[in-house]
Structure 1
Amino acid sequence: MPSLSLTRTVQVLALLALSLLLLYVGRLFLVPLVFAAILAMLLAPVARQLERWGAGRIVSGLLCVLLLLAFMGGICWAIGAQAANISEQLPQIQQKVQVLLQQAQHWIQQRFGVAPREQIQFVEEQVAKFGQSANRYLTTSLKGVAGLLGGLVLVLLYLFFMLWGRHKFREFFLRLAPSEQHQEVNQMLQEIMRVGGQYLSGRLLSVLFLTVVYGVGFLVIGLKNALLLALIAALPTLVPYVGAYVGAIFPLIMAMVGGSAGQLLPTLGVILFAQAVDNNVVEPLVMGSRLNLSPIFTIIAVVLGELLWGIPGMILFEPLTAILRIVCSHVPALHPYAFLLADEAHTPQWIKRVKSKSKQLL
């Protein structure tokens, strides 16, 4: 019996290692495919509604793709329109940066005894070293942009064909199982579709909430280009945990170099307030326990996703882990793994009451 248990453990670890290797090796193929699958889960209700109104599958799929492109284009237009205002303020920003640099040089000289000339010489040496590798960084950046555009085209193509053939994909999974298990498989597929779509919609609603609160807060404290700063601060929060810190950097820098000296702390206060409300009110309401993932495995999913797929993995591995938990919960032999991945915390009563009242109103 111990030898059998050891053999089973080795088999599970070997399967896990092989799966991670395949995920890493096939990331260029899998990332656009998984992005398209999550987006298809989000847009499937829209496609069904269009088909009820008389549109065919091809037309409904094309309209969903166009809707996604319009949404992305609107975000890019808003950022571009606001970014033009910053270019007009560059002379003032440069003057403020020079003043801050002079203050920093004076502080370093007093604190460490390094003269400003030596500081400038050190910076020039670092710039020279950076310039030697600038061509390599530029080439890498251009490849990254080309890869991003190519990946976007693949995502849109995959998305269209997934929406068009979603009924066939469902029938395929049903045919893999015996007829007596069709009800169980159908329930599992419905849960996966619901979790995938609700996760992404919840993230987008969270970003929208943060954009509005940031924008209003930045306008109240008099921060210039409030809408642009709000968008830049909110969009990185699509990445769990890390995104909130990354998004906060740019508004704080702009408050320091583009605003007055008294705007830094109010800007930080707006960011902290918005994040506190989003984490404790908005996300529990719009997402709640739909993923039903243990916090430790949520963090593991984000870290593992970054290691294997980079930033896209940080976004995708959380819903993928939730889908894995659903599959394990519907396979008797994998129930222990579903129990391990599941969240042991219960949904707060106030969230249940709000949701029940909203359903009654609707």
Structure 2
Amino acid sequence: MKALSLSQVNTRLAFAVLAIGILYLGRPFLVPLAFAGILSLLFMPVSNWLERRGIGRIWATLLCVLLFLLLIGSFVGVIYAQAASFSKDWPQIQTKLTTGIEQAQAWIQQQFGVSRQRQLQALKEGVSKLSSTSSGSLLAVFGGLSGFLTGLVLVVLYLFFLLWKREKYRDFILKLASPENRPSVNDALSQISSVSAQYLSGRLVSMGFLALFYSIGLSIVGVENAILMSLVAVIPTLIPYIGAFVGGAFPLFMALVSGSPDMLLPTLAVLVSAQIIDNNIIEPLVMGAQLDLSPIFTIIAIVLGELIWGVPGMILFEPLFAVIRIVCAHIPQLHPYAFLLENEVEEPSWVKAVKKKMG
């Protein structure tokens, strides 16, 4: 077997470092563009459906953007309405929270011999340290909010232009390839479009199921502001694996604070049941192995995404790795990398049978 020369190894390492550097330094530009790219693939069938019914391209594109904004507005509206309801219950929750803190202080004093005065002193010192940096924290919050709004505006603008002139960008990529390679490049682009759109739509269906299941289950259990807690618990599930644990902490905390310790187990049962159904039935049906990524590289994508792009990277790097796998699968020299990235876990036979019957 022909060994790699030192210059070849150095070239590949330099390319990897350069790529990571570009991704890190260019995140203010690349993150909104990546979100808009995935959303454009999701809304492309909607735009095509509108155009087949006689609506012009630009009006179909504007309607898709308006639909996107309506979805965001509806979500924010539900959150706001539930938050307003939550604020009415805050005095009662605060009373229970105070009682819980007093019980915790008594338990700490009994178990570790730390008096309540020393506990309060330590708490005051922590609060004073926090208040000393409050101005910087407020600036960070306002900076994050302005950055989010700026990013949202950029996503909307990119989404409009990516949908409006979508054939131009596809033709541009095809023109970069030699004539004999264009069929392979066209096939790769079709796979990337299909996989990304199906993954995102499947993720939204999964989140919708979890929100509905959580809302019904937590309402039956008696958790205060069940709809708000359900939405707050569902949002982190955009991040694979980790998001379910992060989101589940909010309903459990609310059950403990606004209810009683007896509500913890029923609330936990609702969360676990929803995740079991979602992981074993909903996701295999609506997504399956669409990304075809190995589980270990899914985790690597989440960790690497957080290091480079933060929370957006944890969401975006999984489909990005899937795009890399598809590209490697269409370049003979990179086939080993596609083999390394692809999923080695076969899709369950019952999922294949259901999908076959559903066409």
Q: TM-score, normalised by structure 1?
A: 0.97
Name 1:148's counterpart in structure 2.
148
Name 1:180's counterpart in structure 2.
180
> In the TM superposition, what whole-angstrom CA distance separates every residue of 1:145-167 from its partner, at most 9, and x where no partner exists?
00000000000000000000101
Query: How many matched pairs?
Result: 359
Shift of 1:5: 4.0
Query: Equivalent residue of 2:259, what SS?
Result: coil
**For residues 224 and 109 of structure 1, what CA distance do their matches in structure 2 show?**
31
Is residue 2:336 matched to residue 1:336?
Answer: yes
Name 1:278's counterpart in structure 2.
278
**For residues 247 and 180 of structure 1, what CA distance do their matches in structure 2 show?**
49
Is residue 2:28 matched to residue 1:22?
Answer: no
> In the TM superposition, what whole-angstrom CA distance separates every residue of 1:271-298 from its partner, at most 9, and x where no partner exists?
1111111112211111111100011111
Is residue 2:80 matched to residue 1:65?
Answer: no
How do residues 205-354 of structure 1 correspond to structure 2 at under 5 angstroms? 205-354=205-354
Shift of 1:3: 6.2
Is residue 2:43 matched to residue 1:43?
Answer: yes
Name 1:105's counterpart in structure 2.
105
Name 1:199's counterpart in structure 2.
199
**For residues 7 and 342 of structure 1, what CA distance do their matches in structure 2 show?**
29
Shift of 1:180: 2.5
Shift of 1:260: 2.5
Is residue 2:331 matched to residue 1:356?
Answer: no
Name 1:80's counterpart in structure 2.
80
| 130-139 or 281-290, larger mean C-alpha shift | 281-290
Query: Equivalent residue of 1:293, what SS?
Result: coil
Runs of 4+ in 1 over 6 A off after TM superposition: none
Is residue 2:169 matched to residue 1:169?
Answer: yes
Query: Equivalent residue of 1:292, what SS?
Result: coil
Name 1:55's counterpart in structure 2.
55
Name 1:139's counterpart in structure 2.
139
Name 1:12's counterpart in structure 2.
12
**For residues 215 and 91 of structure 2, what CA distance do their matches in structure 1 show?**
24
Query: Equivalent residue of 1:337, what SS?
Result: helix
Shift of 1:182: 2.2
**For residues 63 and 222 of structure 2, what CA distance do their matches in structure 1 show?**
40
Segments of 5+ residues of structure 2 without an aligned counterpart are none
Segments of 5+ residues of structure 1 without an aligned counterpart are none
Shift of 1:2: 6.1
**For residues 12 and 117 of structure 1, what CA distance do their matches in structure 2 show?**
60
Is residue 2:92 matched to residue 1:92?
Answer: yes
Query: Equivalent residue of 1:89, what SS?
Result: helix
Identity of aligned residues (%): 54
**For residues 3 and 348 of structure 2, what CA distance do their matches in structure 1 show?**
44
Shift of 1:178: 2.1
> In the TM superposition, what whole-angstrom CA distance separates every residue of 1:243-274 from its partner, at most 9, and x where no partner exists?
11111111111100111331111101111111
| 157-166 or 91-100, larger mean C-alpha shift | 91-100
RMSD of equivalent CA atoms: 1.2
Shift of 1:181: 2.4
Q: TM-score, normalised by structure 2?
A: 0.98
**For residues 6 and 43 of structure 1, what CA distance do their matches in structure 2 show?**
47
**For residues 241 and 172 of structure 1, what CA distance do their matches in structure 2 show?**
37
Tell me which amino acid in the other structure corresponds to 1:137. Answer: S
From the superposition, tell whether residues 57 and 224 of structure 1 become closer, same or farther in structure 2 (CA, over 3 Å).
Answer: same
**For residues 220 and 253 of structure 1, what CA distance do their matches in structure 2 show?**
17
